[in-house]
Amino acid sequence: MDTNLHNTYLFKALDAYPYELEETIEALNYALSYEPSNGKALCLLAKIYAEQLGDYEKAKSLYAEALANNLEMVSIYPEYLYVLLYNEDYEEALKLIDFAVSVKGIDKAVIYTIQAQIYEALKKYKKALKSFKSAKIYAFNNNYISFLKAEKERIKDKMPKKKKAKSKTKKRKKKKKK
């Protein structure tokens, strides 16, 4: 019976978010009172803290708690990784990615895309391109592949341009002028 009530309130909270925040919080509080360790409820609460309140530290702790309760809940990982990215916790995010790609059923294309975005934030453009290439391998639709191609081009535009070595003929011309 408690599980049914918990689910009812959880569905109400999910349905109300993000348009009715007061209703979302009320339903979420009821859901968490019936099952305080429910991963889905904790994720929604973390999402509210991150997206609506900008409290990334609180969101991080809620996502970590949700993961501690259910490591196989694949929907946690992308949201948690974005919170780590926005909070500039890059090393922590990269460690989580190493684990996330081993979770059965995870969308590896999305995880590698987030990894590329982290490398971009770190200005490690070659690693970002490599991660986008990995994401492309795991992508399941053409729209996502097109998105990844556009992202790769965007990263290539950010990369510092290499200075071309002066050709030998230009060097000879300069010597003759002197």
The structure's pTM equals: 0.86
Q: Using CA atoms, how far apart are residues 16 and 47, in angstroms rounded to an integer?
A: 13
Per-residue pLDDT of the chain (178 residues; tens, 9 = 90+): 456 888 999 999 999 999 999 999 999 999 999 999 999 999 999 999 999 999 999 999 999 999 999 999 999 999 999 999 999 999 999 999 999 999 999 999 999 999 999 999 999 999 999 999 999 999 999 999 999 999 999 999 998 887 665 555 555 555 555 5
Which domains does the chain possess? 2-177 (1.25.40.10)
CA 55 to chain centre: 17
3-state helix, strand, coil in the chain (%, to 5): 75, 0, 25
Q: Using CA atoms, how far apart are residues 77 and 153, in angstroms rounded to an integer?
A: 26
